[in-house]
A and B are shown apart, each in its own frame.
Chain A
Amino acid sequence: MRAYPEAGPTKALPDPSESLDTALSPRPAMPGYVARNEDVLLGFTLPPQFIDRCRQAYLRIPHDPNDGPRQIGVTSASHGEGKTSIALGLATAIAADTLEPTLLLECDLERGSLDRRLGFKRTPGLSDWLDGESRLRILRAAPLPNLFVIPAGSATIDPARVFYQLSESRLMAELQPRFANIVIDLPPVLDIAYGSLASKLADRIVLVARYGETLVEDLEKVSFLLGRERLCGIILNGTEYRTPNWLRRLL
């Protein structure tokens, strides 16, 4: 975990445009091939039915292309409810369906788990870039040619400050023209103090609830904190119905 930075003038952030341009530059025509010096995570596959459910979810979120890029924040009440998996599933489904440049921005700075799940190096990442420690790292999530990931980076002891810096930076403004779809993996709202601040990164937020674990009362609190108008829906994750299907249809 990176230490608290010393007091003093804030470091200037490296220009993200270069990284973005490099990441989005034309690559070999053969899908699946990796260009030289390209930062790519490989061997990443998700279960088809999982992608399908995520597809069902994003298609139900109203989106008008004239309003700019599609920007969906994914959050939950607390950790361990499948928020990161759903964010990855949504980004994959959108990228696969639209063939437009799609970005998964991992903003769970304290407990980001994308690196562990997909098997890539955690650092450098968003937090390192925000501290001016490195250039903005953008990975291409092969085999899809249009799905990119910005990892959370080093865990920081003061994520609230980093988030403040993120909201002050022009990163989102830089990302929006380049990516038609941005999925933001936000930190959980109730577990951390800056959850509400983090959720301001996205206009539309999907709330992930773990079936049989998340308390409805917590979801109500989250709904209150985020504001109902920004909450575009809930994804109930990890459902495990024991009731026979025919009976469920009757109920």
Chain B
Amino acid sequence: MARYVDILFRHWTRFAVILFLLPTPISIATLIYFRTYQAATDIWVENPTYFGSSTNLVGSSGISGWNQYLTPAQNEADELNQYLQTTSFLYAVGDRMAADGMSDAKERNKLITSIPKNLKVTPNGSHLVAITFSCSLASECTETLKATIVVFQDRLTEALKAQEQLSTTFLQSQVAAAQQRSNDSEVALQKYISEHPGLPLTLTSGQTGIPQLDQLVTRAQQDRDTLTQLQSQLGQAQYTFAAADQFIRTSTKVIDNPGITAGGFLGDGSSLKRAAVVWLAAVGVAAVYLALLVWMDKTARDVRELAGRLSVPVLATVPLLSAKERF
């Protein structure tokens, strides 16, 4: 150990160069040129029952892809994270940024390719989703976040519209069939009434005492109810389809607009980490260099080492005489 320390102090200028003179400008350059900013935004995700259980949006089976055992924030974060893994989503974000005025395609590509790595989506409580993004320019960070949220909302809207369109098509066929059945029931009832004049007036109760008539009345009633229910569902689906955009923007509200949360000289601190890595590398190089010097130096320096290796005592150490003292 004494040998290491002695050699360290003996060649202190070299170690000063390795540990301070070289890493300092590199670290400063790293801090300045590789500085990154962090933009953040918060989204409030509504519980699906917010719109009432009658809407298809929140039907009994829940929204497509939603896990009923997770909080809305967790579901939303999971969904966004999955989107972020898709190239089409990232290109859509790029297109959105281009539409918003970012004309440099190279810069856009650089940003969107960094999204999967630098964009972090974190559920923060039951409804709040925190999204952060780090990049080298503050304005680009916020723009990327804005574009990502807009594209995400668009994707949700599209998904909802697709779901509602499917529901509408299905319900329209159901309504048509129910309409037909209801009409048939009505016709059958009217025909029976016309064939049997003098029937009691309370036909709607279905308790006329005439089994065939009661059956016809009950069936006509049921078919009407079914038709009404299906028409209501169809109306709901059509409404949801028409207002899908509004639904999504209400259910996933941007609470805090994207803004820079970590800026200043040090940015978000990641450049500080890089600078620290530079220092660590310098320390590593210095350590290796020191070990090399110690390994190469086979001369007598350490009193304890000498006494140990030769098994004879070191009687005295005589300091180097100054030029004046030499004889």
A interface vs B, CB < 8 Å?
A: 44-47, 49-50, 53-54, 56-58, 60-61, 82, 85-86, 89, 117-118, 206-207, 209-217, 219-220, 223, 228, 231-244, 247-248, 251
- Name the residue of chain B whose CB is nearest to the CB of A89: B318
Q: Of the 9-residue stretches B2-10, B251-259, B286-294, which lies at the interface with chain A?
A: B2-10
| CB contacts between A and B, total, < 8 Å | 127
Chain B interface SS verdict (over half): mixed
Q: Does B209 contact A (CB under 8 A)?
A: no
Chain A interface SS verdict (over half): mixed
Q: Which of A82, A232, A251 has the most CB of B within 10 A?
A: A251
Number of interface residues of B (CB under 8 A): 31
**A47 CB, min distance to chain B CBs, angstroms:** 4
Q: Is the CB of A216 within 8 A of B306?
A: yes
- Name the residue of chain B whose CB is nearest to the CB of A208: B318
Partner of A234 from the list B12, B299, B313, B321 (CB cut-off 8 Å) is B313
30 contacts between A and B (CB under 8 A): A47-B321, A47-B327, A53-B316, A53-B317, A57-B316, A58-B315, A89-B318, A117-B327, A210-B300, A211-B301, A211-B317, A212-B299, A214-B300, A216-B298, A216-B299, A216-B305, A216-B306, A232-B312, A233-B312, A233-B313, A234-B300, A235-B314, A235-B315, A235-B318, A236-B317, A237-B318, A238-B321, A239-B318, A242-B6, A251-B1
**B319 CB, min distance to chain A CBs, angstroms:** 5
Partner of A236 from the list B1, B9, B10, B300 (CB cut-off 8 Å) is B300
Q: Which of B301, B314, B315, B321 has the most CB of A within 10 A?
A: B315
> In the complex, A60 Cα to B317 Cα: how many Å?
12
Q: Does B99 contact A (CB under 8 A)?
A: no
Q: Does B303 contact A (CB under 8 A)?
A: yes
**A204 CB, min distance to chain B CBs, angstroms:** 11
Q: Does B196 contact A (CB under 8 A)?
A: no
**Contact partners of B311 in chain A: CB under 8 A:** 228
> What 15 new A-B contacts, CB under 8 Å, besides A212-B297, A238-B318?
A45-B327, A46-B327, A47-B325, A50-B318, A50-B325, A54-B316, A211-B299, A211-B301, A234-B300, A234-B306, A236-B306, A236-B314, A236-B316, A239-B320, A251-B1
> In the complex, A213 Cα to B301 Cα: how many Å?
9
